[in-house]
Structure 1
Amino acid sequence: MIFKLPITDTLNALLAQEDTDKDKKITIEDKGPKTFEITSISGDHYTVSGTYNLSNLLQELVIAKQEGQDVAEISLSKIEELPVQRISRMIRDYYWNGLTRRMDKTGVKSLISDSKNASLTSEKLTIYVPYQDTLAYDYYKVLEKDLPIITQKLPKDITPEYVKSINHKPGILSLKLEDHNGNIEGVPFVVPGGRFNEMYGWDSYFESVGLMLDGKVELAKAMADNFQYEINYYGKILNANRSYYLTRTQPPFYSTLIREVFDITHDKTWLASHLETAIKEYETVWMVEGKRLTNNGLNRYLAQGIGITPEAEEGHYDAVLKPFAEKAGMSVQAYIRAYQSQQIQNDFLDTYFLHDRTVRESGHDTSYRIEGNCADLNLVELNAMLYKYEVDFAVLIRDVFHDSFELHLRTYTGSYWLEKAELRKARMNEYCWNQSLGMYFDYNHVTRSQSAFIAATTLTPMWCDMASEEQAEKLVKHALPLLQEKGGIAGSTEQSRGEISESRPHRQWDFPNGWAPHQMMIWKGLLNYGYNAEAQELIYRWLYMITKNAVDYNGTIPEKYDVVEATHKVFSEYGNVGTDFEYISQEGFGWMNASYQYGLSLMDKRYVEALNDLKPPESLF
C-alpha cells in the first residue's frame, strides 16, 4: 500500500511527538508513545508502531525531501521492511553512493568544506600533485580560477624533512584523473565515511569486497586503478591521500583486490598492468633490506617521519608528554611547540614517535599490542598478507599467463613465487608460531623474542591458507574461545590489554572493541579450513549486533563496536565515526557496510531468518 504524505507537515509532527531527546533521530532512548498515525492525501490512515518502523518512516520522508519532493509516496513495505533486507538495501543503493568521491572539480568542492579543512576558512586548500603528473597539475591550475585552492607540485624525492616542512599547511594528494576527449574526470573511489573523507589503504580493499558483492565491480576496479596511481606516483599505497601520509603505507591487500576483480571481469590486459604494479610494490616497498624487510627474512612496518603525527587529535599524547613537560617546568602545549621546532631534543620521544607513526601505518592505530615497539615487530598479519601476495602472484602467473610473466627484462614463473611463499611460511613457523600455546605471536626481531600479546590477528594465517591443518585446529581450539565475545571477535583479550587508568587509557584496537576487517578475515579463514559451524556463529554474532543496533538507533552503522556489550557506544580514543548524523545515515561506514554484505553472502539461510526475527545468539548457539 502506498501513502502520499506531505513531507514537511508529517516530518514536523513525527519529530515533535517521537524525538523526545531532540537529537533528530528516533531511537529506543526516546520516550514518545511509539505509535504515530499517518494520513495519506487521499484520506487513508495507518498507525505506525515501534521504534524501528517509526525511524524507517523518518528516513523515508527525509530521502524523499532530499530528492526535492514536497509529497512523499511511501510504501508500507518500506516502513515495515524486514531489518536485514533494509540494512542490506540501504548499503547497496544508498550508502555506497554517499561514500563515493572523485578528485575532479565536483569532488574538490566538497573537500573544501571537509571537517579537516575547517581551519582553512580564510585560506585556500592545497592540492599536492606528483612532480611528473602534468595532466593533474594543469587541471588543478585551471580550477584555481573557480575554487579556493592552491596547486602545489611535489618534489621528485619526497623526504621526511620535506613532509614535516608542509605539515603546517596540510593538503590533499591528487589521485587518478582521466582525459576523455578534453573532459577531465576523476577516477572514483570510496571513503570510509565521516571525518575520514579520503581514500585509505586497507579500508579500500574491504570496501571493495562489499562493492563487488553489490554488483559494483567497476567501482572496485577504480579503487585498484587509484592504488596503481599511488604506487606509480607516490611510491606506495598511501595510508590515505593526505600530505602528511606521504611517508606511510598501509596493510597490503592489492594482490587480493586485483585477483578478485579479475575473477569477475576476466580483463587480462587490465590484470597484466596491475600485476606488474603489484610486483613493483612488493619489491620496492616491502622487500628492501633494512627498511620493511628485517634480517630474519620477515617483514615489518616502518613509517618514516619527524616529530609528532599531525593528524592526532589534540590531547592524544598528553599522557606520554606530561612527565617530560613537568620535568622541564613547561605546559604540555609549550613542550610540544619546543619539541616540534627542535628547540628541545628528546631521544626517547624520537623513538616513541617512530613507533607511533609505524603503528598508524599498520592500520591498528592504536593498540597496546604494538605501542612503543611496532617498528621492531614482525607482525603476524603483515607476513600473512605478504604470503598472500606471493601465492596470488604464483597462481595468476601460472593460470592466466601460462606460467611466464615478463617484467623489466625478467621472466617470473609461478614456482618462483611459490618458493618465496614456502620460505616465508617456514620463517613464520620458526619465529611466530608457538606450538605449546597453539597460536601465532608477533616476533620482536630486535630482542629476538615472541610477544605474549593475544590478538585477533593470530588467526590471519588461516585467511591466506598459510597455517597447516594441525595449526588451524589448534588456533580454533585455543584462540577462538579467548577472543569470542557476545558480538564477535574482540581485538585482543582483556588480559593482554592489561589494566586501564588515567595514565594508561583505552586503545581502540584492543579489548573490548571489535573491527570489521578482523571479522571478515577470520570468517574466510575458518571456512578455508572447513570450520563452517564456528564461522556461522561468528558471522551471526557480528551481524546480529549490527542489526540490533541499527534497529534500535535509527539505522546507525558505525566504525567499530564494543563486542563485549554488543553496542556501538564505544568509549575510547577518537570516538565512533558514523554515529553523528541527523535523521538518516548518509553513508553507514565503509568497511562495516562491507562486513554486513559479506556476512550475509556467507550465512546459512536459517540464520538470516533468525536475524530478521532478532533472535539473540545465545538462543541459537
Structure 2
Amino acid sequence: MKFKLHIRQTLEKLLAQEDTDGDKKITVDDKGPKCFLLENETGNSVAIEGTYHLSNLLQELALSKKENTDFAEINLDHIIENPVDRISRKIKDLYWNGLTRTIDADGIRKILEDDKIENTISYLYVPFGDEMVFDYFKKLETTNSKLKVEQLPKNISPEYVLSLNEKPGILALALQIKDNEISGVPFVVPGGRFNEMYGWDSYFIAKGLLIDNKTELALGIAENFKYQIDHYGKILNANRSYYLTRTQPPLYTSLIRDVLEKSNSEIFWIERHLKTAIKEYQTVWMEEGKRLTANGLNRYKAEGIGLPFEVEEGHFDDILEQFAPKHNLSTREFEKKYLRREINEPELDKYFTHDRSMRESGHDTTNRLVAICANLNTVAINSLLYKYETDIAYLIENYFKKEFQYDEHISYSSNYWSSKANSRKEKVNQLCWNAENGIYLDYNFVTEQQHFFDAATTFYPLWAKISTPEQAEILVKNTLPKFKMKGGIAGSTKEAIANLGKNSPVRQWDYPFGWAPHQMLLWEGLLNYNFNDEVQEMVYRWLWLITRNAVDYNGTIPEKFDLEISSHKIFAEYGNVGTEFNYITEEGFGWMNASYQYGLTILREDLKQKLSDLVDPDELFLNN
C-alpha cells in the first residue's frame, strides 16, 4: 500500500513529536508518544506505532526528501517490513552503493572530502612507473585547484614516508579503460571516517558483495589488491601516504577462491591474480629477518618511523611522558623533536615498531600485542598464511594441472605448496597449541615461550583447517564457552583482561567488544568441522545483536559492539564508527553489513523467523 504525503511537512511534524532528544533519529531513548497519525492529501489517515515503525517512517521520508519534490508516495509495506528482511534489503540496495568509491574524475571529490586531512591542498600520490595513471591525474589536476598530484619515487624508504606527513594524501588505485573511457576501478570503503580502501576490511566486504550478486565490485577489490601489490609492494593498511610502510592481514587468496565460486572467471584472470598472490607471499611475508622468523613461522613487522600518523594528538602521551623529562622538554615539544629525529630514543623506536606492527595485524589495539607484537609468531598470521599455501596448492591443482609457470624461470607444483602448508601446520600445532588449556596462543620467538592471553584468534586455525578433529572438539566444547556472550564472541576472554590488573587500559579488540571478522571466521571454522548446532547458535547470537540494535536505534549498523551490554554505545578508544548520521544511515558499516548477509546464508529458516521476532538468544539456547 502506498500513501502520498507532503514529505517535508510530514518529516518536520514527525521529528517535532517523536525526536525528543533532537538527534534527528527516533530511538528507544526518545520519550514521545510513539504513535504518529500519517495523513495523506485526500484526508485518509493511518496510525504508525512503536519505535521501530516510526524510525522506518523517518528513514523513508528522508530518502524521499532527497528527490526534492513536495509530494511523494511512501510504501507502507516498507514501514511495517520485518526487521531481518529490511536490514538485508537496505544492505543490498542502499548501503553497498553508499560505500562504493572510485578514484577518477567522477569519484575524486568524494574521496578527497575527508575530515582526516586539514590541508587546504589535497594530495594525490601516484606510484612510480605507472605513466598512464600519472598522466590521467595530472590532467585532472588542471581542473581542480585544490588537487595536487605527485609521483612517488621508485624506492620508498621509511624516512621518505615520514617526510610525507607534512603533506599527507591519498594513494592512487587502479584505472580501467571501458568503451575508450578511463575510469577508476571501484572499491568499497568501510564507512564513516574510513573513506579509503582498507586491507582486511575489503576481504570481508567482498564476501558480502558476492552474496548480494555484486560480483563486479568484488572483482574491483581483487584488481585493486593486485594493483597495490604490483605498485606499492603490498596490500596496504589503507591507500593513504602514511600507510606505505604497513600491510594488513593477508586474505587475497581467499578472495580469489570466493570470486571463483561466484563467477566464471577466465583462466587468464586466475593466472594473473595467482602470480600476484605468490609475489606478495614471497616478497612481503617470506623475506627472512622481516616478517619471517628463524623458526619458519611469521610475525607482523611494519616498518616506519615515529608515531603512527593516524592517531589523534595525545594518544601516546602516557608513553612519551616517560621520556620527555629526561630531555627537559614538555611532552609536545619532545614529540616534535623525536619525530624530526633530533632526539634518538631506541627504546621508544622499539615501542613504536611493536605498535605499528599491531596496527598491521588489524587488531588496533589490543593488550595482547602492545609493546610485544613484533616478537610474536601470532596464531592469526600463521593461520592466514597456511590458508595462502593451501589456496595456492588448490588453484594450481584444479586450474593448472598441478603445475604452474610463475615466470620463465620458475615453475611451481601443487605439491610444493602443500608441503609448505604441512610444515607450517606442524609448527603451529607444536609451538602455539596449549594442550593443558585447550587453546592456541601466540608464540614469543624471542623468549621461546607461549604468550598467555586468551584471544578470539584462537579460532583462526578452525577457519584455516589447521586443527586436528580432536583439537577442534576441545576448542568448540571447552574454549568457545569462555568467549561466548549474548551477542557473539568477544575479542578476548574476561579472564585475560582481569589478569592484566585493574589499571590496564580498555582496548577495543579485547573483552567485552565484538567484531564482525571474528564472528565470520568462527562461523566458517565451525562449518569446516561440522559443528552444525554450534554454528546456528553463534550466527543467531550475532545477527540478533545487529537486528536488536537496528530496531531500537533507527537502523544503526555500527563498526563494533560492546557485548557486555549488547549495545553500540561504546566508551573506549576511537568510539564507534557508523553511529553518527541524520535520519537514515545510507552506508551501514562495511564488514558488519557483510556479516549480516553471510550469517543469513547459514541460518536455518526457523531461526530466521525467531530472529524477526527478536527472541532473546539466551532464552533460545538456554541449555548451551
TM-score class, shorter: over 0.9
- Which of 218, 240, 243 aligns to 1:242? It is 240
Q: How big is each residue's C-alpha offset from its partner over 1:98-150, in whole Å with a ceiling of 9 and x where there is no partner?
A: 00000102221112321112x12xx2111110110111111111111111111
Q: Is 1:179 aligned to residue 177 of structure 2?
A: yes
Alignment match, 1:224: 222
> Alignment partner of 2:177: what SS?
strand
Q: Which deviates further from its counterpart, 497-506 or 269-278?
A: 497-506
Q: Which deviates further from its counterpart, 476-485 or 187-196?
A: 476-485
Q: Is 1:510 aligned to residue 507 of structure 2?
A: no
Q: 8 Å contact 1:18–1:31 — kept in the other structure?
A: yes
The residue type paired with residue 121 of structure 2 is K
Alignment match, 2:136: 139
Alignment match, 1:156: 154
Alignment match, 1:278: 277
Structure 1 residues 480 and 502, CA gap change in structure 2 (3 angstroms)? closer
- Give the C-alpha shift of residue 83 in structure 1: 0.3
Alignment match, 1:374: 373
* Residue correspondence of structure 1 range 481-496 to structure 2 within 5 A: 481-496=481-496
Query: How many pairs are equivalent?
Result: 618
The residue type paired with residue 204 of structure 1 is S
Q: How big is each residue's C-alpha offset from its partner over 1:426-456, in whole Å with a ceiling of 9 and x where there is no partner?
A: 1111111111211111001111110110000
- Give the C-alpha shift of residue 50 in structure 1: 0.3
- Give the C-alpha shift of residue 65 in structure 1: 1.4
> Alignment partner of 1:127: what SS?
strand
Alignment match, 2:296: 297
Alignment match, 2:349: 350
> Alignment partner of 2:366: what SS?
coil
**Percent of residue pairs identical:** 55
- Find the aligned partners of 2:499 and 2:13 in 1 and give their Cα distance: 48
- Give the C-alpha shift of residue 535 in structure 1: 1.0
- Give the C-alpha shift of residue 499 in structure 1: 6.9
* Residue correspondence of structure 1 range 119-518 to structure 2 within 5 A: 119-120=118-119, 123-147=120-144, 148-180=146-178, 182-267=180-265, 268-408=267-407, 409-498=409-498, 504-518=504-518
- Find the aligned partners of 2:354 and 2:486 in 1 and give their Cα distance: 32
Q: 8 Å contact 2:494–2:511 — kept in the other structure?
A: yes
- Find the aligned partners of 1:384 and 1:492 in 2 and give their Cα distance: 18
> Alignment partner of 1:370: what SS?
coil
- Find the aligned partners of 1:35 and 1:331 in 2 and give their Cα distance: 57
The residue type paired with residue 567 of structure 1 is S
The residue type paired with residue 245 of structure 2 is T
Structure 1 residues 558 and 245, CA gap change in structure 2 (3 angstroms)? same
- Find the aligned partners of 2:388 and 2:270 in 1 and give their Cα distance: 14
> Alignment partner of 1:36: what SS?
strand
- Find the aligned partners of 1:178 and 1:8 in 2 and give their Cα distance: 41
> Alignment partner of 1:53: what SS?
helix
Q: 8 Å contact 1:189–1:219 — kept in the other structure?
A: yes
Q: 8 Å contact 2:308–2:356 — kept in the other structure?
A: yes
- Find the aligned partners of 2:393 and 2:322 in 1 and give their Cα distance: 52
- Find the aligned partners of 1:264 and 1:344 in 2 and give their Cα distance: 54
> Alignment partner of 1:63: what SS?
helix
- Find the aligned partners of 2:276 and 2:546 in 1 and give their Cα distance: 37
- Give the C-alpha shift of residue 182 in structure 1: 4.3
> Alignment partner of 2:321: what SS?
helix
Q: How big is each residue's C-alpha offset from its partner over 1:561-607, in whole Å with a ceiling of 9 and x where there is no partner?
A: 01121111111100000001111011000000000001111001111
* Residue correspondence of structure 1 range 68-107 to structure 2 within 5 A: 68-107=68-107
TM-score normalised according to structure 1 size = 0.98
Q: 8 Å contact 1:6–1:71 — kept in the other structure?
A: yes
- Give the C-alpha shift of residue 559 in structure 1: 0.4
- Find the aligned partners of 2:504 and 2:69 in 1 and give their Cα distance: 52
- Find the aligned partners of 1:434 and 1:366 in 2 and give their Cα distance: 24
Q: 8 Å contact 2:378–2:442 — kept in the other structure?
A: yes
The residue type paired with residue 541 of structure 1 is R
Q: How big is each residue's C-alpha offset from its partner over 1:375-396, in whole Å with a ceiling of 9 and x where there is no partner?
A: 1101101111111111111111
Q: 8 Å contact 1:500–1:506 — kept in the other structure?
A: no
Q: 8 Å contact 2:364–2:508 — kept in the other structure?
A: yes
- Give the C-alpha shift of residue 505 in structure 1: 2.1
The residue type paired with residue 233 of structure 2 is G
Structure 1 residues 486 and 162, CA gap change in structure 2 (3 angstroms)? same
Q: 8 Å contact 1:439–1:458 — kept in the other structure?
A: yes
- Find the aligned partners of 2:458 and 2:333 in 1 and give their Cα distance: 41
- Find the aligned partners of 1:263 and 1:60 in 2 and give their Cα distance: 35
Q: 8 Å contact 2:2–2:74 — kept in the other structure?
A: yes
Alignment match, 2:547: 547
Give the unaligned 5+ runs of structure 1.
none
- Find the aligned partners of 2:369 and 2:551 in 1 and give their Cα distance: 36
- Give the C-alpha shift of residue 329 in structure 1: 4.1
> Alignment partner of 1:48: what SS?
strand
The residue type paired with residue 353 of structure 2 is L
The residue type paired with residue 160 of structure 1 is P
- Find the aligned partners of 1:202 and 1:525 in 2 and give their Cα distance: 18
Q: 8 Å contact 2:197–2:238 — kept in the other structure?
A: yes
Structure 1 residues 500 and 334, CA gap change in structure 2 (3 angstroms)? farther
- Give the C-alpha shift of residue 501 in structure 1: 8.6
Q: How big is each residue's C-alpha offset from its partner over 1:399-442, in whole Å with a ceiling of 9 and x where there is no partner?
A: 11111110112221111111111000011111111112111110
- Find the aligned partners of 1:389 and 1:85 in 2 and give their Cα distance: 35
Q: 8 Å contact 2:101–2:111 — kept in the other structure?
A: no
- Find the aligned partners of 1:472 and 1:322 in 2 and give their Cα distance: 45
- Find the aligned partners of 2:317 and 2:486 in 1 and give their Cα distance: 33
> Alignment partner of 1:237: what SS?
coil
- Find the aligned partners of 1:343 and 1:414 in 2 and give their Cα distance: 52
The residue type paired with residue 123 of structure 2 is T
Q: 8 Å contact 1:437–1:478 — kept in the other structure?
A: no
Q: 8 Å contact 1:439–1:478 — kept in the other structure?
A: no
Task: Please provide the CA RMSD for this pair.
Answer: 1.3
- Find the aligned partners of 1:502 and 1:529 in 2 and give their Cα distance: 38
- Give the C-alpha shift of residue 328 in structure 1: 4.1
> Alignment partner of 2:116: what SS?
helix
- Find the aligned partners of 2:484 and 2:502 in 1 and give their Cα distance: 27
- Give the C-alpha shift of residue 216 in structure 1: 0.5
- Find the aligned partners of 1:503 and 1:488 in 2 and give their Cα distance: 26
Alignment match, 1:559: 559
- Find the aligned partners of 1:254 and 1:100 in 2 and give their Cα distance: 19
- Give the C-alpha shift of residue 503 in structure 1: 6.3
Q: How big is each residue's C-alpha offset from its partner over 1:24-63, in whole Å with a ceiling of 9 and x where there is no partner?
A: 0000111100000011123220000000000000000111
Q: 8 Å contact 1:25–1:55 — kept in the other structure?
A: yes
- Give the C-alpha shift of residue 534 in structure 1: 1.1
Q: How big is each residue's C-alpha offset from its partner over 1:487-546, in whole Å with a ceiling of 9 and x where there is no partner?
A: 100000122124789964211100000100000000110111111111111111111111
> Alignment partner of 1:192: what SS?
coil
